[in-house]
Amino acid sequence: MIKKYWKDFLSLLYPELCYNCDVALVEGEDKVCLRCYRDFPLSNYHQSEPNPLVQIAAGNEKVKGGYCYMKFNKHGVAQKLLHEVKYKGNSAIGVLLGEWFGKYLEKELTTLELDGIIPVPLHKTKRRKRGYNQSEIIAKGIQNVTGLKILNEALIRTKNASTQTKKGKVERWQNVDSLYKVVDKESIERKKVLLIDDVITTGATISMAAEVLAESGVNEIYFACIASGK
């Protein structure tokens, strides 16, 4: 009891603030206030026809569906939260985003009977620098809600993005097919997987990862991201 009063007292002095609107959080709220949570700009892409995420992988017939949590707006809530995860080392927000996303999709994901989640991998140098792969952290959150397996060892990123950014657009496209490689074919063969990335913008990288998975014998691929500007 004393501990609780002490905690309440401390939170009066140093309240935890909403990462989106800076209002002091109250009990039961975590990282964002209830008002901001209710106002998340949900994409509902999986209910749109055509689905913008499936469209980015046109030509890859294994890509069957796509789920995006929020619309990506400049300075919007998705950008703020993902910035914390990617550049401030705040992996707890990543897990929470995954859990919220998992709850949002729980019915759909259960119906799909997926074999597992594949987080789009980072190059090992980048992963080491950041300390974690944000897509993997988000996948963990989804796993907490759905119990889905994370197939973490199947796919690797063979090249670091920083070596790519200086090149021209055309050259980059020519290079992009060698970005990912399947290293454990057996674990994904004939499987139905959810390929997850934190943000999908042009869709070039996730499409390439999907291409490599399709070539390696995956049966069905579903895209998922926390935010997309599509």
- One residue of 7, 8, 10, 21 binding Zn ion per CB under 5 A: 21
Residue 23 Cβ vs Zn ion, minimum distance, rounded to whole Å:
5
**x-marked contacts with Zn ion along 22-41 as a string, rule CB under 5 A:** -----------x--x-----
19, 33 in Cβ contact below 8 A?
no
Stretch that binds Zn ion, among 15-23, 38-46, 73-81, 95-103 (CB under 5 A): 15-23
- One residue of 20, 90, 133, 228 binding Zn ion per CB under 5 A: 20
Residue 21 Cβ vs Zn ion, minimum distance, rounded to whole Å:
3
Instruction: Give backbone dihedrals phi and psi of 165, rounded to 5 degrees, phi first.
Output: -65, -25
> Which tokens go with 148?
């889905």
Q: Is 48 left (phi over 0), alpha (psi -120 to 50) or beta?
A: beta
CA dihedral 134, 98, 75, 131 (to 10 degrees): -20
Q: Which is nearer to Zn ion, 42 or 183 (CB)?
A: 42
Residue 71 Cβ vs Zn ion, minimum distance, rounded to whole Å:
17
Q: How far is CA 103 from CA 17, 54, 188, in A?
A: 23, 22, 25
Asked whether position 42 contacts Zn ion by CB under 5 A, the answer is no
> Applying CB under 5 A, which residues contact Zn ion?
18, 20-21, 33, 36
